[in-house]
Structure 1
Amino acid sequence: MSDVRRKALETIVNCFDNVFMSSKSYDVRWGKITVLQADLICMKDLLRHKKWKYFINLTGQDFPLKTNLEIVKILKAYNGANDVSISNNQAKFAHRWTNIKSSPPVVFPYKGSLHITVNRPFVEYAITNKTATQLLKWLVGTIIPDESFFSTLNFNSNLGIPGSFQGNLTNAMVLYKSMTRYKIWKLDKSCNGQYVRAICIPAVEDLSKIHSRPELFINKVYWDYEHYVLDCLEESIRNRTIDNILGMIDLNISDYSSLYFVKHALRVHNL
């Protein structure tokens, strides 16, 4: 970001008492450790604030599909479970670690996603635990390390992280469905817009299937491409918020409490 734009952003941030800039900035490069470091510094900064239970990291191209009230209800239905994705074909990504001479500390590496919905104890573990620190150091030499850090922590059940996955790992790779972000992948062949790194930037024609999605957010929505998509999504959230207030719609929470990763999460009292 240029100095001019950063100054403008800082000025806007100063207008709000619940928004702050991260204490440290990185020159983020795709596929490098800086992608992960930028998120970790935000997690560390957030730990200074007491009144939150879940952490959700988003990009500038994510947009909510659920209202604030609905997201709160969904997170309560998670009951402390972490929503961290895992690839259903780990062998495909094994080359990312094979060139590393040493092995990661007491864990087996897994490929997943950088973008997560996790409870506060998970964030505390990722930032302060010695094993997490050693894993982060080991990942520096791997390929696309940001897609391995959180999934490795969440799916190594021996670590005992609150909310982490404790079920059958083979089943998880087939049945695990992340609810954090909806992506229209190129393999789905259902995109009316254009693709960026095999993910669809939706067009107006894609709105009908977007509105009915159960995920919390959609990725990717660009303000300078098919702007009517953003306009419609904004109006939809406004209308749903009003309907929430008036009691005209009620989200089916049971659909979320019965998710595979929710049913097989490590429970900790008073989370």
Structure 2
Amino acid sequence: MVEALTALHGRNSMETEVTREHKKRRWQYHYNVTDRITWTDVRKSPPPISSPMFQGNAYIVVSRAFVKHVMEDSEVQKFLEWEKDTYSPDEHMWATLQRMPSVPGSEPTHIKYDESDMNAITRVVKWGGLDGDVRAGAAYDSCTGTYRRGVCVYGAGDLQWLLSRRQLFANKFDPEVDDVAIRCLESVLRFKALRQHPLLTDQYSTTL
């Protein structure tokens, strides 16, 4: 993880893409936020920022400079306040901040800098509806575990694909779905950790 974060050279990594039309209502309208979130037909004022809105998710990798800026910058603070009555703000707030020129480690708003969740390093997910035959255009092979709320709960058959990904975390696992997948992944990660330990490298090179 340290190597992956160092390789960013102060940049952030997160999903940030042009907002699809059906998701714009999440921040175009006022929502009543109590113990539940209720849509109203009251349109909100435009976002108090000069850059456009983007969509993403709640899982992000950011620099210390990014955090400091978010906590102290007056424009960002106004934007965070504006976000409070939107629907699922974590799915557009971070993505939008990542495209604001004044934010440390951010990227320009041009579509060439869009980053999908599959390219961001934070977490990897198999979404239902995007899987299938990769040769026919699917984003990835079908889930070998089961789907829960549209998300793959990984099975052992997904491990080879997972280990080829560069993300730091994988969502999600459940021992009641496939405990073998978890135990096998634990073994792989433990082996990698031991291989990297300078006192054990020679030992493992000999015994393996």
Matched, 1:104 2:36: no
Task: Tell me which residue corresponds to 1:90.
Answer: 20
Which of residues 90, 93, 97 in structure 2 aligns to 1:153? 97
Q: Higher relative contact order at CA 8 Å, sep ≥6: structure 1 or structure 2? A: 1
| Further displaced range: 201-210 or 86-95 | 86-95
Q: Structure 1 residues 147 and 174 mapped into 2: Cα distance closer, same or farther (>3 Å)?
A: closer
Contact 1:88 1:174 in 2 (8 A): no
Which of residues 154, 170, 190 in structure 2 aligns to 1:202? 154
Secondary structure class of the residue paired with 1:87: strand
Instruction: Kindly provide the amino acid, as one letter, of the partner of residue 75 in structure 2.
Output: T
Q: How far off its partner does 1:88 sit?
A: 5.1
**TM-score under structure 2 normalisation?**
0.76
Task: Tell me which residue corresponds to 1:49.
Answer: none
Instruction: Kindly provide the amino acid, as one letter, of the partner of residue 28 in structure 2.
Output: T
Which of residues 119, 124, 142 in structure 2 aligns to 1:182? 124
Task: Tell me which residue corresponds to 1:242.
Answer: 194
Secondary structure class of the residue paired with 2:152: strand
Structure with more strand by fraction: 2
Superposition pairs of residues 47-196 of structure 1, within 5 angstroms: 71-87=1-17, 89-99=19-29, 100-106=43-49, 107-157=51-101, 160-166=102-108, 169-173=110-114, 177-186=119-128, 187-189=130-132, 190-196=142-148
Instruction: Kindly provide the amino acid, as one letter, of the partner of residue 10 in structure 2.
Output: G
Aligned length: 176
Contact 2:15 2:115 in 1 (8 A): no
Contact 1:97 1:142 in 2 (8 A): yes
Secondary structure class of the residue paired with 1:155: coil
Percent sequence identity over aligned pairs = 29
Q: Who wins on radius of gyration, i.e. which is larger?
A: 2
> What stretches of structure 1 move > 4 A for 4+ residues in a row?
none
